[in-house]
Structure 1
Amino acid sequence: MTTVPRPARPSRAAEAQEGVKDLIVRRGLVAGDPLPTESELMEELQVSRNSIREALKALQAVGIVDIRHGFGMFVGRMSLAGLVDELTFHSRITLQNGAHHLAHLVEIREILESGLVQRLIELGPGADLTPVGDVMARMESEAQAGLVSPETDRLFHDLLYRPLGNPLVSQLLGAFWDVYFQLRDALGTPDESAADVARRHRDIYSAVLKGDRAAAVAAVQAHFEGVRNRVARIEG
């Protein structure tokens, strides 16, 4: 007769992690709210100090808990830093592979932005794109000097979709950008000139202002063509 092994029981630290998360939900705490002290958590969850500390360390690593030495513990604010580190690492170790992760990330971001520009156009005149126009002018000024800074490029995309009122959009695009930026040395020099970079961003901005969905999507795809080509050089 075959004996079926029993599933391993979660460790006390793992149980403490779930206990802390459950406490946050039950008390209706939100990001930035203070958490009970270690001693209070030990008493409420009925676990040892070592288990609590191990649990809090694990929760801090994923951004659920924010430990500020000398001030206390707080509910953490959502961060994709862990995702960025993991994606960067796996992209780096597969850069010599024809199916490397970076190409997949670029594809996902292109699909995401193709949909976002259409949602932005749906807002109509209610979307204030004045800040985007200011960044666009800055980008064109930089292009005339021969180099569009990464900060300006990133800010354009961040401000463009801000009228959608979805904070996750900014965080996701920022995560994709961080991965790409950290791998920039492996990608080599861009194929596009600074003038081309500015022109492609201007095309996106102009299409959104006109409310032309087809033109906006086409402009986003054209913008990412340069990125795709840069990544494809590694695959070759």
Structure 2
Amino acid sequence: MAAVPRPARPSRAVEAQEGVKDLIVRRGLVAGDPLPTESELMEQLQVSRNSIREALKALQAVGIVEIRHGFGMFVGRMSLAGLVDELAFHSRITLQNGKNHLAHLVEIREILEVGLVQRLIDLGSEADLTPAADVIARMDAEAEQGLVSPETDRLFHDLLYRPLGNPLVSQLLGAFWDVYYQLRDHLGTPDEPPGDVAKRHRDIYTAVLAGDGPAAAAAVTAHFDGVRNRLARLRG
């Protein structure tokens, strides 16, 4: 019988990465808390300086560690920047070959927001939608000037779902938005009149305020029609 090969042993740098993560968890550290120095980590984890530095670079790349030159190392704040760059790149190279990653992302975001508006409706009077209403007023003013700014559009979604009290919602929606924004020059000129953009957002707000789940879901779907139309136009 042939001998079964043993799994490759993780490199010392990979072991160091796991050691740093374990240290953060065991000590109950949170984002922004200082980490031990390189020398202290070498001693505690029993690895070389090169392994520690390689591990810290890898952890910095995924946001687990933040290195502030001149100040030290800290537990990082969660960032989806790496995911955004990867999604934007793959979406860009598939934009015109019929296997468009961006269309799939739009579908995922639509499904997410359909669920989120229902959660808002379930909250009822506990959800303060006043900040979102204020953004709609800004949208109307911008539409009269001929353009609803991307920043105002993004702010509406951020404030609308804030009553849910889930910070990951804002980060995930922000990641989708960042991918779309990176690809804006490849998508061509928007064909929706500014007044329609403002109305689509107002329809979402009005349906949520009225507690009308089907209308809110339909309004979210209509909101993404503009993006879908631009993608369809690219595919000819």
Q: Normalized against structure 1, the TM-score is what? A: 0.98
Partner of 2:207: 207
Q: Tell me the distance in 2 between the aligned counterparts of 1:228 and 1:214.
A: 21
CA distance in structure 1 between the partners assigned to 2:29 and 2:135 by the alignment: 37
Match of 2:193 in 1: 193
User: Partners in 2 of 1:118 and 1:106 — Cα distance?
Assistant: 19
1:27-58 deviations in whole A, cap 9, x for unaligned?
A: 11111111111111000000001110110010
**C-alpha distance in 2 between matches for 1:182 and 1:223:** 20
- Could you tell me which amino acid in structure 1 is paired with residue 134 of structure 2? D
- 1:47-80 deviations in whole A, cap 9, x for unaligned? 0011101100100000000011111111111110
Q: Which residue of 2 aligns with 1:14?
A: 14
1:214 partner letter? P
Superposed CA offset, 1:119-146 (max 9, x none) = 0011111111111111100000000111
SS of corresponding position for 1:123: helix
Aligned to 1:102: 102
User: C-alpha distance in 1, partners of 2:219/2:91?
Assistant: 27
Partner of 1:93: 93
What does residue range 59-98 of structure 1 map to in structure 2 within 5 Å?
59-98=59-98
Distance in 1 of aligned mates of 2:146 and 2:140? 10
Which of structure 1's runs of 4+ aligned residues deviate more than 4 A? none
Q: Note the aligned Cα RMSD (angstroms).
A: 0.9
For each residue in 1:172-199, what CA deviation from the matched residue of structure 2 results, as whole angstroms up to 9, or x when unmatched? 0000000001101110011211011001
**1:40 alignment counterpart:** 40
Equivalent residues in 2 for 1:1-236, closer than 5 Å: 1-236=1-236
Identity %: 85
User: Which whole-Å CA distance do the structure 2 matches of 1:6 and 1:96 have between them?
Assistant: 44
Shift of 1:227: 1.3
Residue 4 of structure 1, CA deviation = 3.1
TM-score by length of 2: 0.98
Query: 1:71-115 deviations in whole A, cap 9, x for unaligned?
Result: 111111111001000000110111122121000000000000011
Return 5+ residue gaps in structure 2 as ranges.
none
Equivalent AA in structure 2 for residue 45 of structure 1: L
Structure 2 counterpart SS, 1:6:
coil
Q: Per-residue deviation at 1:229?
A: 1.0
Equivalent residues, number? 236
How far apart are 1:2 and its partner, in Å? 3.1
What secondary structure does 2:224 align onto?
Answer: helix
| Structure 1 stretches lacking a partner, 5+ long | none
Q: Deviations over 1:144-190 (max 9, x none)?
A: 11100000000000100000000000000000000001101110011
